[in-house]
C-alpha cells in the first residue's frame, strides 16, 4: 500500500525538483514546469515599515516580477518605492520642447529634498499641480503662516516645495514647525500630505537643473514692478511653468501676508483644466475667431461673417487677456471695464462713415496685474445677431498707471447646439444705466413689449455693474444697489449684498475669478469682481407674460430700501426681454 502511494507521489516530487520532468511508462513528451509566481509580500512589507505613508495593500495586489524588481531597486528611497505600485500617469510627461519662460513646458529635473531625491518626470501623474515658494525678505511674513491652514485650503492634488533665498536658519526653524504641524494632522490627512510637502535642500537658485538656472536668471533680470516671480512659481497639470500672484492683502503699510492665498493658484489651475477639457471635448462647435494674440491699447475692430444660426441654440464668447512674456510685472495694473459691442454704420462729424458701437454683447472687468481667460454663455445674444457680415468692437480701458502697457487679446465666438429644444429669436432692448442719482429713475420709463403667441420661453436678461466709490456709502462699486423690475406687475429684484464683503471675489476663484491679483481683488463688489466676466443675469418670466399681447415692464432702483436723494456713483446696465421659440 505504501509502495503504491510512493509510486504515485514520485513523479510529483520529481516535477517539483526538475525544470523538465523525466518520463514514465514510455511517455517521452517533456513537461515544462513554470517558475513560481513572484511574491511581493516581503519587499512590500519592508517598504511599508520604512516609508510612512505606504499603501501595503496596493503594493501586494497585482504583484509581478517587474514590481518586485522595482521594490528591490528602490532600496531606502521611499519616493521610488511608492512609484512601484502607482498607476501610470493619466497624461504622459512630455518628452521635449522644454523651456524656462512662463507658460513654457517644464523639463525633467531631480530635486534634492530632505526626504531624498524627487524626480519630476518619474513622479509626474498628469493630475497634480506643483507649487514652489522660497523664503526671502518679501516672503518672510508668508512663512510665518500655518502649514495646516494652507493644506486645509488646498486642493488635494497639490505638491508644495519650500526653499530659501535668505535666512537659512529662519527657514529651517519654519520647516521644523511645519513638520510638527504635519504630524498633528489626522492620520488620513497626514498620510495624504506627508509625501506632498517637500523641503528642498540648499538655496532656491542653486537647485538642480532648470529650476536653479531659471531662478538665477530671474534674480539677475529683475522686473521694475512686482518681484513675486523671484520667490515663487508653479507647474500646472499641462506641465506649464506658471506665475504666482500676491500672497496677502493690501494694507496701508504694504501687503499683509497670507499663506493660504497660495491655494488659490491651484484652485484656478483646476478651473482652467476643467474648462479646457470641456472645450476640447465639444463636437460640432463653430468657432468664429476675431483675434489671436492681437496687441491693443484700447480697442480692436472686427468684421465677422455670421453663418446661418438656425442650427445653433448656444453662443459663448471666449476672451483671453495675456501680458507680454506672460509675466505679471508686464500686465496692466487696474481693474477696468471691458466690453464687446455690435456696431452699426453711422455718419461722422465730417460727413464720412464711422461706426456707432452701442449694443453690448458681453462685459468683463480686467485683472490687477495678471492674465485671465473667460468663456461666457451669452446665448440670448443669438437673437441680436443675424447672418451676414457684422462689425464688432472690443474695448478695454487704456492701462496707463504706473505706465502704459498693451493688452494681448485672443477673442472668439463659439456657436453650438446643446439640444435645448428652442432658440432665442427676439431680444428687445430695455433700459441702460447712467449716473446713479435722484434723476436716474425718472429717465427709466415703462416699456411695452409684444410677445409672440407661439413663444416657448421668455427671459428678462440684465448685465449690471456698479462703479465709483463715493463716501460714506462707497456706492456704487462697494454698495448693495438694488434694481427692481416688474413684468405686468410681478416684481423681480436684483441686488448685491456681497458688496464690501471681505472674501466674496476670492471665494469665486473656483468659478473663474483670476486669483491673487495685485490689488484689492478679494472684496465683493456691486455686481462684479476684478479679473472676471460679468455673466448675464437671467430670470425666466414666461409665466408672467401674456402671449400674443403687449406686456408692460418697469424698472426703478433703490438704496437701503429708499429712493435716491443724491449722487451715488454710476450704474452700467444693459437689459433685454428675450423670446425663445
| pLDDT 10s digits, 327-360 | 999 999 999 999 999 999 999 999 999 999 999 9
- Reported as a pLDDT band with limits 50, 70 and 90, residue 47 is very high
- Reported as a pLDDT band with limits 50, 70 and 90, residue 264 is very high
Q: Give me the mean pLDDT over the 218-236 stretch.
A: 90
Q: Classify residue 209 as left (phi > 0), alpha (psi -120 to 50) or beta.
A: left
Side by side, the strands of the sheet bearing 314-322 are 286-296, 407-416, 314-322, 372-377
- pLDDT at position 16 over 50: no
The DSSP H or E segment spanning 178 is helix 168-183
- For the chain, list the domains and their CATH numbers: 41-83 (no CATH), 110-269 (3.40.30.10), 282-419 (2.60.120.230), 422-581 (2.60.120.230)
- pLDDT at position 385 over 90: yes
User: What distance in Å separates the CA atoms of residue 531 and residue 368, rounded to the nearest whole number?
Assistant: 7
User: What distance in Å separates the CA atoms of residue 473 and residue 581, rounded to the nearest whole number?
Assistant: 44
What's phi and psi for 55, nearest 5 deg? Answer: -90, 90
Res 29: pLDDT: 59
Of the chain, the end-to-end C-alpha distance in Å amounts to 94
- pLDDT at position 368 over 80: yes
Q: Give me the mean pLDDT over the 87-101 stretch.
A: 96
Q: Give me the mean pLDDT over the 473-480 stretch.
A: 94
User: What distance in Å separates the CA atoms of residue 577 and residue 430, rounded to the nearest whole number?
Assistant: 7
- pLDDT at position 22 over 80: no
Res 6: pLDDT: 39
Q: pLDDT tens for residues 550-577?
A: 999 999 999 999 999 999 999 999 999 9
- Whole-prediction pTM value? 0.91
- Reported as a pLDDT band with limits 50, 70 and 90, residue 25 is low
Res 469: pLDDT: 82
- pLDDT at position 124 over 60: yes
SS3 357: strand
Q: Give me the mean pLDDT over the 41-52 stretch.
A: 92
- Reported as a pLDDT band with limits 50, 70 and 90, residue 192 is very high
Percent of the chain scored above 90 by pLDDT?
90
Of the candidates 562, 555, 559, which has an alpha carbon nearest to the alpha carbon of residue 576? Answer: 555
Res 300: pLDDT: 98
Whether the ω angle into residue 472 lies within 30 degrees of 0, i.e. cis, is yes
Res 9: pLDDT: 34
- Reported as a pLDDT band with limits 50, 70 and 90, residue 133 is very high
Q: Give me the mean pLDDT over the 177-181 stretch.
A: 98
Res 26: pLDDT: 53
User: What distance in Å separates the CA atoms of residue 358 and residue 392, rounded to the nearest whole number?
Assistant: 10
User: What distance in Å separates the CA atoms of residue 303 and residue 291, rounded to the nearest whole number?
Assistant: 11
Q: What is the mean pLDDT of the chain?
A: 93
Amino acid at each position: 500500500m505504501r509502495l503504491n502511494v510512493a509510486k504515485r507521489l514520485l513523479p510529483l516530487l520529481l516535477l517539483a525538483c526538475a525544470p523538465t520532468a523525466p518520463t514514465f511508462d514510455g511517455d517521452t513528451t517533456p513537461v515544462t514546469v513554470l517558475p513560481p509566481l513572484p511574491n511581493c509580500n516581503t519587499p512590500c512589507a519592508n517598504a511599508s515599515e520604512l516609508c510612512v505613508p505606504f499603501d501595503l495593500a496596493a503594493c501586494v495586489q497585482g504583484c509581478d516580477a517587474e514590481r518586485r524588481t522595482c521594490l528591490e531597486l528602490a532600496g531606502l528611497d521611499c519616493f521610488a518605492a511608492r512609484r512601484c505600485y502607482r498607476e501610470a500617469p493619466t497624461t504622459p510627461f512630455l518628452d521635449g520642447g522644454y523651456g524656462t519662460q512662463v507658460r513654457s513646458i517644464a523639463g525633467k529635473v531631480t530635486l534634492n529634498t530632505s526626504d531624498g531625491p524627487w524626480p519630476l518626470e518619474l513622479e509626474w501623474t498628469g493630475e497634480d499641480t506643483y507649487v514652489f515658494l522660497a523664503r526671502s525678505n518679501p516672503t518672510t511674513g508668508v512663512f510665518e503662516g500655518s502649514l495646516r491652514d494652507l493644506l486645509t485650503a488646498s486642493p488635494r492634488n497639490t505638491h508644495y516645495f519650500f526653499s530659501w533665498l535668505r535666512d537659512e536658519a529662519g527657514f529651517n526653524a519654519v520647516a521644523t514647525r511645519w513638520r510638527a504641524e504635519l504630524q498633528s494632522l489626522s492620520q488620513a490627512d497626514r498620510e495624504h500630505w506627508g509625501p506632498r510637502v517637500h523641503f528642498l535642500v540648499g538655496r532656491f537658485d542653486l537647485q538642480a537643473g532648470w529650476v536653479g538656472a531659471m531662478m538665477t536668471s530671474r534674480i539677475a533680470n529683475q522686473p521694475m514692478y512686482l518681484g513675486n516671480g523671484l520667490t515663487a512659481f508653479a507647474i500646472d497639470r499641462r506641465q506649464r511653468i506658471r506665475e504666482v500672484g500676491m500672497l496677502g492683502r493690501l494694507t496701508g503699510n504694504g501687503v499683509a501676508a497670507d499663506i493660504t492665498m497660495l491655494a488659490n493658484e491651484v484652485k484656478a489651475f483646476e478651473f482652467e483644466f476643467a474648462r479646457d477639457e470641456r472645450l476640447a471635448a465639444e463636437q460640432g462647435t463653430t468657432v468664429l475667431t476675431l483675434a489671436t494674440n492681437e496687441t491693443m491699447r484700447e480697442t480692436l475692430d472686427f468684421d465677422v461673417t455670421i453663418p446661418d444660426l438656425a442650427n445653433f441654440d448656444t453662443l459663448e464668447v471666449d476672451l483671453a487677456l495675456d501680458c507680454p512674456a506672460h509675466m505679471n510685472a508686464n500686465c496692466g495694473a487696474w481693474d477696468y471695464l471691458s466690453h464687446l459691442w455690435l456696431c452699426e454704420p453711422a455718419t461722422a462729424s465730417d460727413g464720412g462713415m464711422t461706426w456707432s458701437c452701442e449694443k453690448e454683447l458681453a462685459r468683463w472687468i480686467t485683472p490687477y496685474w495678471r492674465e485671465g481667460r473667460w468663456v461666457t454663455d451669452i446665448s440670448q445674444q443669438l437673437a441680436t445677431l443675424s447672418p451676414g457680415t457684422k462689425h464688432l468692437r472690443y474695448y478695454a480701458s487704456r492701462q496707463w498707471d504706473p505706465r502704459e502697457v498693451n493688452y494681448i487679446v485672443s477673442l472668439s465666438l463659439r456657436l453650438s447646439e446643446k439640444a435645448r429644444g428652442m432658440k432665442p429669436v427676439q431680444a428687445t432692448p430695455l433700459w441702460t444705466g447712467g449716473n446713479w442719482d435722484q434723476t436716474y429713475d425718472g429717465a427709466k420709463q415703462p416699456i411695452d413689449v409684444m410677445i409672440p403667441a407661439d413663444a416657448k420661453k421668455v427671459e428678462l436678461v440684465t448685465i449690471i455693474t456698479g462703479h465709483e466709490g463715493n463716501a460714506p456709502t462707497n456706492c456704487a462699486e462697494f454698495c448693495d444697489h438694488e434694481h427692481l423690475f416688474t413684468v405686468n406687475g410681478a416684481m423681480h429684484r436684483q441686488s448685491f449684498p456681497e458688496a464690501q464683503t471681505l472674501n466674496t471675489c476670492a471665494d469665486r476663484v473656483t468659478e473663474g475669478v483670476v486669483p491673487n491679483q495685485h490689488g484689492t481683488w478679494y472684496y465683493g463688489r456691486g455686481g462684479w469682481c476684478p479679473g472676471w466676466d460679468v455673466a448675464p443675469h437671467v430670470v425666466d418670466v414666461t409665466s408672467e407674460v401674456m402671449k400674443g399681447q403687449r406686456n408692460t415692464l418697469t424698472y426703478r432702483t433703490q438704496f437701503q430700501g429708499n429712493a435716491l436723494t443724491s449722487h451715488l456713483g454710476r450704474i452700467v446696465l444693459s437689459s433685454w426681454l428675450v423670446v425663445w421659440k
